[in-house]
């Protein structure tokens, strides 16, 4: 795939699936704007990525922060061709009846409102330039629901619905909006989960292993490329055989 002269915003791009996507796009000629709440880590990632990549400190749950990052990115790069929404948190594991109310709200603020904010920020410049690709990272949990993970499951179901809505809104333009539904990948998000829940997730994957971040990046890179000229408002499975629809 050819990303030459393109700028991709990757939220949560300093680590995990976001970092793998950034590496894949840079490898195919693109430049990355790493949007991450940890500026030091984002700057280190941008330096390692090269190809004039740069970092922005962003709290995706805060609209003003996202809007400022969008403006800074446009001032520096001149355009935003791609958005990959990878910033997110898993939260702790507990039955819904005892799930901490404030934590449930925080997970929605980052996973749902964060995706909404980033999508909302990049649509106007994409419309103005007549081109864009948006890929939101959901989860197989958003399709099936994981026990003791109601907050995370609900947030990722919302990302799926948001993707379908925005894809239809922009379907008459050369702006594709899709999402992927990965099974678990062994990233730092595991630090937020109990070992019991990690074991449960692995037991549900017919391939018998966790997703590799490079495997996720391969599919996401295609969705973010000009080669994807038709698919929009769609959900692409990355569950290792777990998903039934």
Which residues are the active-site residues?
152
Other residues' Cβ atoms within 10 Å of the Cβ of residue 161: 13
Pairing, β 82-85 against β 132-137: parallel
> What tokens does 99 get?
């799930």
Q: Compute the CA torsion angle 6, 171, 60, 155 (nearest 10 deg).
A: -130
CA distance 112 to 199: 26
Question: Of the candidates 202, 36, 225, which has an alpha carbon nearest to the alpha carbon of residue 135?
Answer: 225
HEC string of 197-218 equals HHHHHHHCCCCCCCECHHHHHH
Question: Of the candidates 142, 138, 159, 153, which has an alpha carbon nearest to the alpha carbon of residue 99?
Answer: 153
CA distance 18 to 217: 8
For the chain, the first-to-last Cα distance in angstroms comes to: 28
């Amino acid at each position: 795939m050819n990303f030459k002269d393109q700028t991709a915003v990757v939220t949560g791009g300093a680590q995990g699936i976001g970092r793998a996507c950034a590496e894949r796009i840079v490898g195919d000629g693109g430049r990355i704007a790493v949007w991450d709440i940890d500026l030091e880590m984002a700057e280190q990632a941008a330096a390692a990525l090269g190809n004039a990549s740069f970092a922005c400190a962003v709290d995706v749950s805060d609209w003003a922060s996202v809007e400022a990052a969008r403006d800074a990115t446009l001032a520096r790069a001149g355009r935003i061709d791609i958005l990959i929404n990878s910033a997110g948190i898993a939260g702790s594991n507990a039955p819904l009846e005892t799930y901490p109310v404030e934590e449930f709200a925080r997970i929605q603020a980052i996973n749902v409102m964060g995706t909404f904010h980033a999508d909302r920020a990049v649509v106007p410049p994409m419309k103005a330039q007549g081109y864009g690709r948006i890929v939101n990272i959901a989860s197989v949990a958003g399709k099936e629901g994981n026990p003791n993970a109601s907050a995370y499951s609900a947030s990722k179901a919302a990302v799926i619905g948001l993707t379908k809505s925005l894809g239809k809104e922009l379907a008459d333009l050369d702006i594709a909006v899709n999402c992927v539904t990965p099974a678990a990948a062994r990233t730092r998000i595991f630090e937020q989960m109990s070992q019991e829940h990690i074991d449960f997730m692995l037991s549900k994957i017919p391939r018998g292993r966790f997703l590799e971040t490079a495997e996720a990046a391969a599919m996401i890179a295609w969705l973010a490329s000009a080669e994807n000229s038709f698919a929009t408002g769609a959900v692409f499975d990355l569950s290792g055989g777990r998903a039934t629809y």
